[in-house]
Amino acid sequence: MIGKILINIRTLGLGATLLYALDRLARHSGGAVTIRSYRLMAQPVRDRPRLPERRRKGFEARPLGPGDAALAQLPLDTATLERRFAQGARCLGLFRGERLVAALWLQFGDYEEDEVRCRFRPAHAAAAAWDFDVYVQPDQRVGFAFAALWDAADATLRESGRRVSLSRISAFNPASLGSHRRLGAREVGRATFIGLGPVQLCHSTLLRARFHLALRRRSRPVITIPVPPA
C-alpha cells in the first residue's frame, strides 16, 4: 500500500494523489459526492503528418454526423450523442475498412463540459478549437491508430484556420497526460471540481478569484483558456 502511494506521488504529484484518494472514497457515496481534477492543455496543430505514408495506408478518416450508423461503435449512449451534437460538437472517425477504430470530438467556440458544470472558453476562438473524448478501440491501442487519428484531426483543424487544440485531461490519468505531451501539448492551467449534490465548488488557476461556488444546478463557472503561440 505504501509503495503504491509513493508511486502515485511520483507520477501524479502530492496534491493530485490526495485528490485521487478522496475521489476513490467519494465513489462509494453513490454519486452524492464527486471530485474531478483536470490539467488544461494546449496542443499545437502540426503542419505535416506524424506518420509516414506507408503507415497511414489502411486508415481512412471522415466526419460522423447525427444518425451515422458508425456512432453505434462508440461507447456512448443516445442522450450523450444528442447533447454533443446539439451544442455544435463534431465527431471525427478513423476507419479500417468498415470498422471504426478511433474517434475524437471537436468543438469550435465555447465547450459545455459534460462531466462537471463548467463552460470552457478559448481566449481566441478563431485560433483554437476544443478537443475531447479521444477514443481508440482497445485492440488498436498498440499501433498507429492514435497517431493516424491525430494526423486527421490536425488536417481538419488546419482547414478551419485553427493553430491550437485545447483540452482537459484528468490529473488522475498520467498515461493520457503523457500521450498528449508527446504530441506537443503543454499545461496552461488547472481546474478542480468538488460536487455535493447540487452544490459545486471549483478551484482553477484561470479564474480571477480562483474559486467559484455554485449553489444551484444551473450555475457554472466560465473558464477562459489561454491560447499560446503555436
9-27 pLDDT, tens per residue?
Answer: 555 566 666 776 676 776 7
In this prediction, residue 5 carries a pLDDT of 46
> 215 — phi, psi (to 5°)?
-95, -15
DSSP 8-class letter at 135: E
Could you list the pLDDT tens digit for every one of the 230 residues in the chain?
A: 544 544 455 555 666 667 766 767 767 677 788 999 999 999 999 998 888 888 888 899 999 999 999 999 999 999 999 999 999 999 999 999 999 999 999 999 999 998 999 999 999 999 999 999 999 999 998 889 999 999 999 999 999 999 999 999 999 888 888 888 988 999 999 999 999 989 999 999 999 999 999 999 889 999 999 998 86
E strands, the chain, in order: 33-44, 60-64, 90-96, 99-107, 111-112, 119-122, 128-136, 164-170, 186-196, 199-204, 211-214, 222-225
Lookup: cell for 128: 483554437
> 134 — phi, psi (to 5°)?
-75, 125
CATH superfamily to which 12-225 belongs: Gcn5-related N-acetyltransferase (GNAT) (3.40.630.30)
